[in-house]
Amino acid sequence: MKIAHISGAFNGRLLVACGITALSQVNLGLEQAAFTSTQEMPAFTHTFGAYSAEGEAHRLGSDFMDLLNGLPYVGLAFGLMQGSLLSRRFGRRASLFVMCLWAFFGVSLLVTAQSQLQILFGRMIIYISVGIELAVVPVLHAELVPAQVRGFVVGTYHTGLLVGQLTMSLICRASREIEGNPSWRVPLGLLYVIPGLVFCLGWLIPESPRLLLINARPEEARQSLQKLRQGRFTDDEIEQEFQQLCDTIDITTDQGSFREIFRGSHMQRTLITIGVNIFMQVTGDSFVSQYGTAFVRTIDTVNPFSMTCIYSAINIFVSLVAMLLSDTVGRVPLMFVSAIIQAGSLFTLGGLGTTDTSPAVSSATMAMVAVFGVGYQIGWGPLSHVVAAEVPTTRLRDVTYAVGAIFSILIQCAISLSVPRALDGRTQPGSQVGFLFGIFAICAAMFTWFCVPECKGKSLEEMDHLFLHGMPIREFARVGQVNVHVSKEVEKDGV
């Protein structure tokens, strides 16, 4: 995609709105890297650990670590459900303010923590805000931006995470030199910054025109759309888009019930959303990340921190490339190639685990970790959120996206708790787990090819039209501009 084509879709208000909301995801990356790094700091271990069995040093107990890494998923699930309900009832923007309040509360608990219970509770509270963000930000991005840049903008949700992780890793590298508890409190205290910015600037984000129409507020919806398009689109183009929204909303006015997502054409869209969320987790990203970190630490000739930064920089660059290509090459080709690259690197990692360690095997292993990162970031990493946010119908988008995300959370929790036990300090035997994830990656490629519709360049209303009229999935890519006009009888029947 040409840069001019991207810039031509944004006026100042839309650029500010997308920038503010994209910042919120950076905060999740900051939080994840902060806890990964602070757990290794002597002051953190001294405050929240206990003497080892030998009585020689403080260590973080396994039960505490399980809770520290497991309880966030409880907060994440609660926040996701709360965010979905708040977003539908009070609006996307109001949900962002609530998200910030939860973040302030959680960070306050973390930076003042003196006990294991408080640090555990604080991190769980932080993840309530993360869950609200997951429920709101990708959906809001999909609803605010023009069709020709939807893949680029929604993809920032994933890229922001990577940027936050690298940034906090560098911060923690420096804060390790600080003596005492400030070494870990300073990085955690920085988690105030982005929620503070979003809270102060959130009023600049226009409400979703689609949500306003659903709530029978057409004049406000028209004004919101004009704020988002004026200066980059003509008055006629803005009016045409508004009429498309109205034509679709007229037949999808009522907020759908939970049961509706499993009826008619909605069932197909729900299954696609669930499938994308499942394969996003089971294609091995968590495994390779943990395995790669553990393996690099066993090699004396390589600086683990330097390698982590190199991997992160590669991932960010490739994710940005995927964002740029998603609205020209398309979602399906990128996700298909992504799954194939992941499968190849996972099978290779598994095979390397069956041989004795040697310099050549070590080099090949580190190379495969990088190749896997390229594969994941060129497709499934950033684009899974894009597909999950754009496939559901307008009146069921919140609940459908939330249901898919619940599957993602459950699987992510299971993998994050089981992979460390699979490795268990035995990095070479542990690498053979790659065979299992490689099989899942092959399944992801097949799912992409046969089940994921190509939605590049199509408005959300055009996709509603195609699904409601029973267009085969493989035909979506061949359909040009769609005349959005769907009868109420078709919608009621859920064809």
Which tens digit of pLDDT belongs to each residue from 297-316? 777 667 778 888 899 999 99
Which tens digit of pLDDT belongs to each residue from 441-467? 999 999 999 999 999 989 998 998 888
Q: Which of these ranges, 35-49, 85-99, 178-192, 378-392, has the smallest mean pLDDT?
A: 35-49
Label residue 88 exposed, middle or buried (CB < 10 Å: 0-12, 13-18, 19+). Answer: buried
Could you tell me whether strands 58-59 and 50-51 are parallel, antiparallel, or unpaired per DSSP bridges? antiparallel
- Cβ-contact 261, 400 below 8 angstroms: yes
Give me the helix-helix angle, 116-144 and 92-111, nearest 10°: 160
438 versus 216: the higher-pLDDT residue is 438
Given a cut of 60, whether residue 253 has pLDDT beyond it is no
Residue 40 CA to residue 57 CA, distance in Å, equals 13
- Cβ-contact 377, 319 below 8 angstroms: yes
What average pLDDT score do residues 218-225 get? 95
> Is residue 68 helix, strand or coil?
helix
Q: Which of these ranges, 32-41, 95-104, 276-285, 287-296, has the smallest mean pLDDT?
A: 287-296
Residue 316 CA to residue 322 CA, distance in Å, equals 10
Q: What predicted TM-score, i.e. pTM, was given to this entire model? A: 0.90
Residue 231 CA to residue 8 CA, distance in Å, equals 10
pLDDT at position 252: 60
Residue 148 CA to residue 152 CA, distance in Å, equals 9
What are the C-alpha distances in Å from 49 to residues 32, 45, 178, 204? 20, 5, 19, 44
Residue 345 CA to residue 380 CA, distance in Å, equals 15
The pLDDT-based confidence of 295 (bands split at 50, 70, 90) is confident
Q: Which of these ranges, 176-190, 240-254, 391-405, has the smallest mean pLDDT?
A: 240-254
Which domains are delineated in the chain?
A: 11-205 (1.20.1250.20), 260-487 (1.20.1250.20)
